[in-house]
Amino acid sequence: MSDVLTPLTIDLLAWLAAEPRDYFDVMDAWRTSCPRLTIWEDAIDAGLVRRIHTIGQPVRIEPTERGLALLANRSR
């Protein structure tokens, strides 16, 4: 993960950890068409966030254990 993007990734993880977020809310807040700001894509690729599918409910996005560990290490 790029050192430049790390603070934004930490922001994404903290935002997700604060409360449950639906996929559409995450995309509204974090999707970008800028090829240099790939926070969402990088977090998925790095295994820092995951999609939770529950029948009859919107897809939820939450940090993985790895994402929570990164967040905890950066908070120290």
DSSP for residue 11? H
Q: Give pLDDT, residue 4.
A: 46
pLDDT digits (tens, 9 = 90+) for 2-31: 554 588 899 999 999 999 899 999 999 888
- Does the pTM surpass 0.75? The reply is yes
Let me know: does 15 contact 68? Beta carbons within 8 Å.
Answer: no
1 occurs within a structural domain: no
Q: How many domains does the chain have?
A: 1
Whichever domain contains 51, its CATH number is 1.10.10.10
Summarize pLDDT for 42-61 with one digit per residue, the tens: 899 999 999 999 999 999 99
pLDDT for 2: 52
What local confidence, expressed as pLDDT, does residue 6 receive? 84
What distance in Å separates the CA atoms of residue 76 and residue 69, rounded to the nearest whole number?
A: 11
- Residues spanned by the domain of 62: 6-75
Residue 18 within any structural domain of the chain: yes
> Does residue 71 lie in a domain region?
yes
